[in-house]
Amino acid sequence: MYATGADSSTPPLRLPVLLDMKSEARKIVAATAYDATFGALLDRNQVDLILVGDSLGMVVEGRANTLSVSVETMLYHTRATARGVKRALLVADMPFGSFPDPASSFRHAARLVGEGGASMVKLEGAGYVLDSIHYLAERDIPVCAHLGLTPQSVHRLGGFKVQGRGQDAAETIRQATSAVAAAGASVLVLECIPASLAAEITRSLPIPTIGIGAGPDCDGQILVCYDLFGFGNGRRPRFVKNFLSGAASADAAVADYVVAVRSGAFPAPEHCY
């Protein structure tokens, strides 16, 4: 069966390519987008993975955290972003409360893939989430896991703080990373953990790690697109770099980000914990 309506001049980047990139030590460049315009901007500048993140609750809706984002909202933004993306692998976040058990997880994830156009869904955490990761992966929904600082755990963590400092905390994260990979996750986001811990995890896992505030040795890097352009007006996290400053255009800023990640120039030591 041949696909109709696809633009054959821009073959989409499929999951096996991400796995090849890890084994060939080619960095994966990722960023968030929430609409067709930003999706197209990232896509035409060769960003490999575009995440429709539930961070939209904060950067688009102006809330203090991500907890109020619904599946319907994620669907709306995933559909919109998908219209702008031709090449990159599109990942949709599963919002808070949408993956309490495997069957509910599948119902929501299938909508994000089937109606929204995502090729993968992202779930924060391990523990009870492992059953859902396994259930989805077994049913042909590729999963991106997310560990370290998991923003949906903001109340338990007591804020948006660096995780994995100290031996016990590091060991908890090490065990969780092995568990999500064993459960069937295909990709792992590591957020705000010491660079040395992320490097060790990246070496030990068969799946690609994508870091945000996790140092230069992850298999790839991700930034919230508004941070990449310096649009934030609050306290700027240490791992953020404004690529628009000094660039001639938004396209040039994204192109600079892509080059900086691929070459290993970003993140620099000042962006790491």
Structural contact between residues 264 and 258, judged by C-beta atoms closer than 8 angstroms: no
DSSP-assigned beta bridge partners for residue 208: none
| Separation of alpha carbons 56 and 147, rounded Å | 19
Q: Which of 115, 124, 138, 191 is catalytic?
A: 191
Strand 28-32 versus strand 49-52 pairing type: parallel
Residue number, 51 or 173, with CB nearest to ligand KIV: 51
Residue number, 58 or 258, with CB nearest to ligand KIV: 58
Write out the binding residues for ligand KIV, residues 34-53 only, by CB under 6 A.
51, 53
Preceding amide of 267 cis, omega within 30:
yes
Interface with ligand KIV (CB under 6 A), residue from 109, 173, 222, 228? 222
Q: Is residue 136 a contact residue for ligand KIV (CB under 6 A)?
A: no
Task: Note if 138 is an active site residue.
Answer: no
| Separation of alpha carbons 259 and 70, rounded Å | 34
Q: Is residue 224 a contact residue for ligand KIV (CB under 6 A)?
A: yes
> Which residue shows structure tokens 């923003």?
151
Residue number, 118 or 212, with CB nearest to ligand KIV: 212
Nearest to 53 by CA among 132, 118, 128: 118
Residue number, 24 or 29, with CB nearest to ligand KIV: 29
Q: Judged by CB under 6 A, how many residues of this single chain contact ligand KIV? A: 12
Interface with ligand KIV (CB under 6 A), residue from 130, 188, 197, 212? 212
Residue number, 124 or 256, with CB nearest to ligand KIV: 124
Write out the binding residues for ligand KIV, residues 141-160 only, by CB under 6 A.
146
* Longest pairwise C-alpha distance within the chain: 54
Q: Find the shortest distance in angstroms from Cβ 58 to ligand KIV.
A: 8
| Separation of alpha carbons 163 and 173, rounded Å | 8
Write out the binding residues for ligand KIV, residues 179-198 only, by CB under 6 A.
189, 191
Tokens of 109: 């994830």
CB within 8 Å of 27: residues ≥ 6 apart: 21, 219, 220, 221, 261, 262, 264
Q: Find the shortest distance in angstroms from Cβ 7 to ligand KIV.
A: 27
Q: Find the shortest distance in angstroms from Cβ 224 to ligand KIV.
A: 5
Q: How many CB atoms lie within 10 A of CB 32?
A: 28
Name the closest residue to ligand KIV (Cβ).
Answer: 53
DSSP-assigned beta bridge partners for residue 79: none
Interface with ligand KIV (CB under 6 A), residue from 55, 78, 132, 163? 55
Residue number, 54 or 256, with CB nearest to ligand KIV: 54
Structural contact between residues 227 and 219, judged by C-beta atoms closer than 8 angstroms: no
Write out the binding residues for ligand KIV, residues 58-117 only, by CB under 6 A.
93
Chain residues binding ligand KIV by CB under 6 A are: 32, 51, 53-55, 93, 146, 189, 191, 212, 222, 224
Residue positions annotated with a catalytic role:
191
